């Protein structure tokens, strides 16, 4: 009798995740973000995360953003309109309990209070953690997270997570409208170089010019980009890759929503005529919002190789945007910066 009871329990545990994976509603009447793999389709891509919409039984069910680690395994952040969820490809019990830490600090039961307890469910070979606003806020602000499930720790980077969360909200708000063809299962998808860059890219010192620091952005032995910034003026930095150069700045205010584009005026030395340009609000590697001006490398003389090194100061002015900063030492710093760019591959 005891053996039979154990057999029945084993079959029950085996079938429970399978039922959820087949698209059944969960205990609170929503959907697990892994419950309908054959109904998932591409919605968008943002900052190294791919966003998908999931349909269950022909109806919209949920959206999630997926990032792929360097070993090819995935992590998902998703929402079904009721509950935010974090999913990792580890098999566990549906009533599991564990820990969530972000940058070495607890995040469960209040990210800022340091608790690290978290719980959730499991389905289809995935462990799902239920996220509150405190945990979600921690994921937006952090750099590295570790989900502890039993004896297993699953770590993943959070670069681009703010943009991913915003795009998931948009996807749910539109009930997945605009999603394309059905997506392949996560295990069969491999990251593109652009997907991999946020996980692999590391700043490596190239040189200094006074208070300015010039770094290579490397992935292994390959130089992907170069950056330069004045350590005394943290609100301005320049970057260049194989296709474009970028002026990134932040004024300490809200500036706008991620992905938003808005016109700005750029002023250099007093008496100069203002230049008109456009910025996009992006998430920097520090997880904060930056306004970005993009110029093609082949477009001829531009701001970085002409106006900036020949000016003593600059101002950026637009809706909810205002920054005035000095450019002392930028001439020599940009010489080293462009020397660094010769190694970009």
Run of H or E including 229: strand 222-230
Number of domains composing the chain: 2
Q: Do 180 and 206 fall within a single domain?
A: no
Residues 203-248 pLDDT 10s: 899 999 999 999 999 988 889 999 999 999 889 999 999 888 999 9
Higher pLDDT, 269 or 262: 262
Q: Does the residue 140 lie in any domain?
A: yes
Q: Does the residue 194 lie in any domain?
A: no
Q: Do 274 and 299 fall within a single domain?
A: yes
Q: For 260, which DSSP code?
A: -
pLDDT at 191 over 60: no
Find the CATH number of the domain harbouring 161: 2.60.40.1880
Q: Do 57 and 141 fall within a single domain?
A: yes
**Buried residues in 314-323 as b, exposed as e (16+ CB within 10 A):** bebebeebeb
Give phi and psi for 32, each to the nearest 5. Answer: -70, 145
Q: Do 312 and 224 fall within a single domain?
A: yes
Q: Do 216 and 119 fall within a single domain?
A: no
Please list, in sequence order, all residues whose beta carbon lies within 8 angstroms of the beta carbon of residue 119, skipping any fewer than 6 positions away.
Answer: 95, 96, 97, 98, 129, 130
Q: Does the residue 193 lie in any domain?
A: no
Q: Does the residue 196 lie in any domain?
A: no
Of the residues 131, 154, 188, the one at which a domain ends? 188
Of the residues 156, 188, 220, the one at which a domain ends? 188
Share of the chain above pLDDT 70, in %: 83
Q: In the structure encoding, which two tokens stand for residue 148, read together?
A: 């502890």
Residues 5-47 pLDDT 10s: 333 333 333 333 333 444 578 888 899 999 889 999 999 988 8
Cα angle value 141/142/145 (rounded, 5°) = 145
Q: Does the residue 128 lie in any domain?
A: yes
Q: Do 148 and 249 fall within a single domain?
A: no
Q: Do 182 and 212 fall within a single domain?
A: no
How deeply is 305 buried, as exposed, middle or buried, from its count of CB atoms within 10 A (0-12, 13-18, 19+)? middle
Q: Does the residue 168 lie in any domain?
A: yes
Q: Does the residue 143 lie in any domain?
A: yes
**Sequential DSSP letters for 40-89:** EEEEEEETTEEEEEEEETTEEEEEEEEEE-TTS-EEEEEE-SS-EEEEES
Find the CATH number of the domain harbouring 249: 2.60.40
Average pLDDT over residues 314-338: 91
How deeply is 170 buried, as exposed, middle or buried, from its count of CB atoms within 10 A (0-12, 13-18, 19+)? middle
Domain that holds residue 31: 2-188
CB 149 within 8 Å of CB 92: yes
- Provide the pLDDT for residue 221: 86
User: What is the spatial distance between Cα 85 and Cα 128, in angstroms, rounded to a whole number?
Assistant: 6
Q: Do 45 and 91 fall within a single domain?
A: yes
Give residue for tokens 């990210």: 111
pTM passes above 0.85: no
């Amino acid at each position: 009798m005891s053996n039979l009871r154990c057999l029945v329990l084993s079959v029950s545990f085996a079938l429970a995740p399978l039922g959820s994976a087949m698209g059944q509603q969960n205990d609170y009447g929503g959907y697990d973000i892994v419950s309908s793999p054959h109904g998932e389709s591409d919605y968008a891509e943002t900052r190294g995360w791919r966003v998908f919409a999931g349909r269950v039984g022909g109806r919209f069910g949920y959206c999630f953003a997926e990032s792929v680690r360097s070993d090819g395994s995935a992590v998902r952040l998703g929402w079904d309109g009721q509950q935010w969820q974090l999913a990792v490809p580890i098999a566990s019990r549906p009533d599991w309990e564990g820990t969530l830490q972000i940058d070495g600090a607890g995040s469960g039961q209040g990210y800022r209070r340091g608790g690290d307890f978290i719980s959730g469910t499991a389905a289809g070979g995935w462990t799902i953690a239920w996220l509150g606003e405190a945990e979600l806020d921690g994921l937006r602000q952090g750099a590295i997270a570790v989900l502890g499930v039993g004896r297993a720790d699953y770590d993943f980077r959070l670069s681009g997570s703010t943009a991913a969360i915003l795009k998931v909200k948009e996807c749910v708000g539109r009930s997945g409208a605009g999603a394309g063809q059905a997506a392949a299962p996560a295990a069969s998808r491999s990251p593109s170089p652009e997907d991999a860059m946020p996980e692999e890219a590391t700043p490596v010192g190239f040189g200094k010019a006074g208070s300015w620091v010039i770094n290579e952005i490397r992935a292994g032995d390959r130089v992907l980009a170069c950056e330069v910034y004045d350590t005394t003026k943290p609100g301005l930095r320049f970057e260049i890759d194989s296709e474009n150069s970028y002026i990134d700045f932040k004024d300490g205010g809200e500036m706008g929503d991620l992905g938003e584009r808005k016109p700005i005026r750029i002023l250099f030395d007093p008496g100069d005529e203002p230049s008109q340009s456009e910025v996009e609000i992006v998430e920097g590697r520090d997880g904060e919002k930056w306004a970005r001006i993009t110029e093609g490398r082949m477009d001829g003389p531009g701001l970085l190789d002409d106006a900036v090194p020949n000016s003593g100061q600059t101002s950026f002015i637009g809706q909810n945007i205002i920054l005035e900063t000095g450019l002392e030492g930028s001439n020599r710093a940009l010489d080293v910066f462009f020397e660094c760019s010769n190694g970009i591959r």
